[in-house]
Chains A and B, each alone.
Chain A
Amino acid sequence: MQIVVGARSDVGMVRQNNEDCFAVDPALNLFILCDGMGGQAAGEVASKLGVDVLLEHCRQAARNPHLGMMEGYQEEFSRASNRLASGIRLANQAIHEAAGQQAATAGMGATVVAAQITDNVLSVAHVGDSRLYLFRNGELRQLTRDHSLVMEQVRKGLISREEAEQSEMANVILRALGAEPTVQVDLDEVWLAEGDQVLLCSDGLTRMVSDTLIAQVLAEASSPQQASDRLVEVANENGGEDNVTVIVAYVQPSPRVSVWKKLARLFLGGDRVWPN
């Protein structure tokens, strides 16, 4: 199995600055996306801080498996998933502390959705209303549950999904990085199969583009980068009211390696790249 990734972030058609931030680490198959909030430049500071702290925590853990975890280990999830949660708690702390230090950044916060693929297991962690979707056999499934007021109401059966999308309360989220000294992180794990596509996105995409249309774009694109570009385009065509950021990952079969090449690698050293 091999993972191919594409990503794109865009300021949109209305906003002046892009408060979204993302990172892709192909060596770790790690994808992180944060959507910042707070006046002036504070949102950008928060989302950047969130991405940087989480990325650094995961990279350190890759070098040193004994790296400590922030408290709150959940036994039912793998170490990789708990590592994401640990990094997110750390990022929360960093943003919360930074927010308290200066008047300009007071009240800043960020959402986060992060994913890592370890062998066949997709680990998902999130806080806020940035989402992760799994696209499998032509079907688009949202794996994260938005921590937003309207989605909470949908889950309780008080309003419909359509009403939620129309609601003027759609921008109210219940959890964010930096809002409180500690944060509750939602985790999920899924077994991936070849042909699966994983999509991480900020609400700038999902508020502008319906799930049906997202599925259509994913089905038609020929590469993850093309899918990412097209999704951002569609969001902007539909108004682009917010910053839009997407990360698309394809789960592909490993490239076939001939027996001779394998033998050659065995005798001549494994890491050499052989021209075809």
Chain B
Amino acid sequence: MAKLILKYEAAVLKEIPLQKASLVIGRAAGNDVVIDNLAVSGHHAELVLEQDHYVIEDRNSLNGTFLNSQRIRRSALKNGDEILIGKHTLVYNDEGGVPGAAAQSSMEKTQEMKGASLGGDETVVLDTKKRREFLAKATSIATEGASAESKEKLGCLTVLAGKTDQREYILTSKLCVIGKSDMASVKLKGWFAPKVAAIINRREGHYDIAPSDKAGVTKINSQVLAAPRELQEGDLIQIGGVRMQFYFRE
């Protein structure tokens, strides 16, 4: 069974087996894991079982939750990960078996779905354990890399000239609208700025830029943007008097 090891500096204080689908960590009594230290918020963080892996989520704590010394809001856990809360460390260990084992009892019901066989006509949901077996058989990699996204490079826009509401934009959202419109996250100013000039779409580590209905307002590297295209490091985006450069940062 997967477990958490609660440590204070080098000393191991406690081992907590993960038997539930959700575990709340905090200073207040009534938490699943109580850490009595002033640096810890009442309800500080939560461990949630998602499909076949646990995810750590900060519950808007005052001092933050750190995973392997990086402050996180939410992140998938893998074996050996160290969660720092206040001055205490929680080491996540899933060597003991399937991290989904805890939810198995409730899953058992699902599995017995009216004796529907896998080859039958009815749609069947695979429970966590079965799915692992299937995927393990089918692939050498048992599960998908859930933490791949955290390593993704982020795209940025630096404003070189013209009127905008910021000088630099980090493109974290899925859709980024450039224009004067209220929904724009890159806001253009000035009388003649178009409502929506272009839309940047983030898709698995790369960024596509598409023109709005009003074609011809946006230029990339001095060429009119007529159809969607992928943004490359160093691309110059020009909309009227505004010039911006796209680049990636770690």
Interface of A with B (CB < 8 Å)?
Answer: 35, 37-39, 71-72, 75-78, 81, 96, 99-100, 106-107, 109, 111, 119-121, 129, 149, 152-153, 156, 158, 168-169, 171-176, 178-182, 184, 187-191, 193-194, 203, 241
Q: Is B173 an interface residue (CB 8 A)?
A: yes
Closest to B199 in A: A191
Q: Residue on A with the closest CB to B203?
A: A188
A106 to B127, CA, bound (A): 14
Instruction: List 9 A-B pairs, minimum CB-CB distance, nearest first.
Output: A39-B114, A191-B199, A107-B113, A176-B125, A189-B174, A37-B123, A179-B125, A189-B175, A168-B119
User: Of B51, B74, B113, which contacts A38 at CB under 8 A?
Assistant: B113
How far apart sit A175 and B100, CA to CA, in the bound complex (Å)? 14
Are B175 and A37 neighbours in the complex by a CB distance under 8 Å?
no
Known contacts A76-B202, A99-B109, A158-B138: A182-B48 contact under CB 8 Å: yes
Q: Known: A107-B114, A109-B110. Contact between A149 and B175, CB under 8 A?
A: no
Is B15 close to A, CB under 8 A? no
Interface residues of B (CB under 8 A from A): 21-22, 46, 48-51, 57, 73-74, 103, 106-107, 109-114, 116, 118-128, 131, 134-135, 138-139, 141, 172-175, 177, 183, 196, 199, 201-202, 210, 213
Contact A121 B183 (CB under 8 A): yes
Q: Can you report 21 A-B residue pairs in the complex whose CB atoms are below 8 A from each other? A: A38-B113, A75-B73, A76-B172, A77-B173, A99-B109, A106-B112, A111-B123, A121-B183, A153-B138, A156-B139, A168-B118, A169-B119, A171-B124, A178-B110, A179-B110, A180-B106, A184-B50, A184-B51, A188-B174, A190-B201, A191-B177
Q: Which residues of A contact B113 (CB under 8 A)?
A: 37-39, 107
Task: Verify A175–B125 contact, CB threshold 8 A.
Answer: yes
